[in-house]
Amino acid sequence: MAVLVNNMQDRLPASAGLLSLLENIGNYVLRMEGRHEDCEVSIILVDNSYIKELNYTYRGRDSATDVLAFNLQDGPDDIGEDLILGDVVISLEKAREQAENFGHTLKREVAFLAAHGILHLLGYDHETAEKETEMKEKQELVLKKYKL
């Protein structure tokens, strides 16, 4: 499995350890969900201004958000020949703000957002209470696995 992590922002330090953790989390989620060994996901770290622009362009919302998932497949079971699932874009600035508000580490918040975004790429959502519970349980498994 290929989980490509790219830091495209320079407002906050993104250590090699954090980037490695995100790669490991991505691989863990894909394995946990039984995905093909050759599938690929990108995790991209950006700043608030970049994610705000994406949020406005693709969702019509003129504000920074924490994470956006861009699925490149028609559906969760429709993986094309190249097996590229899509991109997860995380605002490191928004993650820091949320970590401070929730009283936990930036590392934990970014890990949560990465798992959350990848689960969206795999077809999970939180549109109903039942679906939200299922998604939360999977996110918690990931956080426990990495002792976050």
Domains of the chain: which residue ranges?
A: 2-145
What distance in Å separates the CA atoms of residue 114 and residue 95, rounded to the nearest whole number? 11
In CATH terms, the fold of domain 2-145 is Collagenase (Catalytic Domain) (3.40.390)
Encode pLDDT of 11-61 as tens digits: 999 999 999 999 999 999 999 998 878 889 999 999 999 999 999 999 999
Q: Is the pLDDT of residue 80 over 80?
A: no
Q: How far is CA 100 from the centre of its chain?
A: 19
DSSP 17-77: HHHHHHHHHHHHHHHHTT--TT-EEEEEEE-HHHHHHHHHHHH---S--SEEEEE-SSSTT
Asked whether the beta carbons of 117 and 86 are under 8 A apart, the reply is: no
According to DSSP, the β-strands at 84-91 and 67-71 are antiparallel
Q: Is the pLDDT of residue 96 over 60?
A: yes
